[in-house]
């Protein structure tokens, strides 16, 4: 599997993900519509043009999902049992249509599972930057990873 096992992750490790993605108007409108999010900052150009942003912003929940998705090939593809939680989600800057999202992950904590000897918990801090290197999103997530010895 391309993902990493619990045994392969060390606290302090930083992974810069090669995969990146340009966010499009279609992504934003479709995601907002599918999730029934009628926020005019995402859907109404006239409304958004009169805000401090001057144009529509990309839905932050879409951005968070994309940040996690970008990490899958390098970290979790086939090697996690479950995501256990997300916390400390921050959006210091918005993403706009046409911006490209780049992601890096830092391993901030890990411990053996108390109930599952074949697994361990890993805490990952994902940082998403736009094409200018500006941080647009930060999210911390905890996942239950398989140990290599369990496969």
Per-residue pLDDT of the chain (151 residues; tens, 9 = 90+): 589 999 999 999 999 999 999 999 999 999 999 999 999 999 999 999 999 999 999 999 999 999 999 999 999 999 999 999 999 999 999 999 999 999 999 999 999 999 999 999 999 999 999 999 999 999 999 999 999 986 6
Q: Which residues, other chains included, contact 66 with Cβ-Cβ below 8 Å and sequence gap of 6+?
A: 21, 23, 101, 128
Distance CA 82, CA 56 (A): 34
What is the longest distance spanned by two Cα atoms in the chain? 57
Q: What pLDDT, on the 0 to 100 scale, is given for residue 53?
A: 97
Structure tokens, 2: 């391309």
The fold of 6-22+66-150 is Thiol Ester Dehydrase; Chain A (3.10.129)
């Amino acid at each position: 599997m391309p993902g990493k096992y619990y045994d392969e992750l060390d606290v302090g490790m930083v992974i810069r993900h090669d995969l990146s993605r340009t966010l499009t108007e279609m992504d934003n409108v479709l995601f907002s519509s599918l999730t029934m999010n009628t926020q005019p900052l995402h859907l109404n150009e006239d409304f958004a043009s009169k805000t401090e942003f001057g144009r529509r912003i990309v839905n932050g929940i879409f951005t968070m999902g994309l940040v996690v998705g970008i990490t899958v090939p390098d970290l979790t593809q086939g090697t996690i049992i479950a995501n256990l939680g997300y916390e400390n989600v921050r959006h210091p800057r918005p993403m706009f249509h046409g911006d490209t999202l780049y992601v890096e992950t830092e391993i901030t904590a890990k411990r053996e599972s108390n109930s599952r000897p074949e697994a361990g918990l890993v805490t990952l801090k994902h940082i998403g930057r736009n094409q200018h290197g500006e941080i647009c999103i930060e999210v911390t997530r905890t996942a239950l990873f398989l140990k290599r010895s369990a496969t």
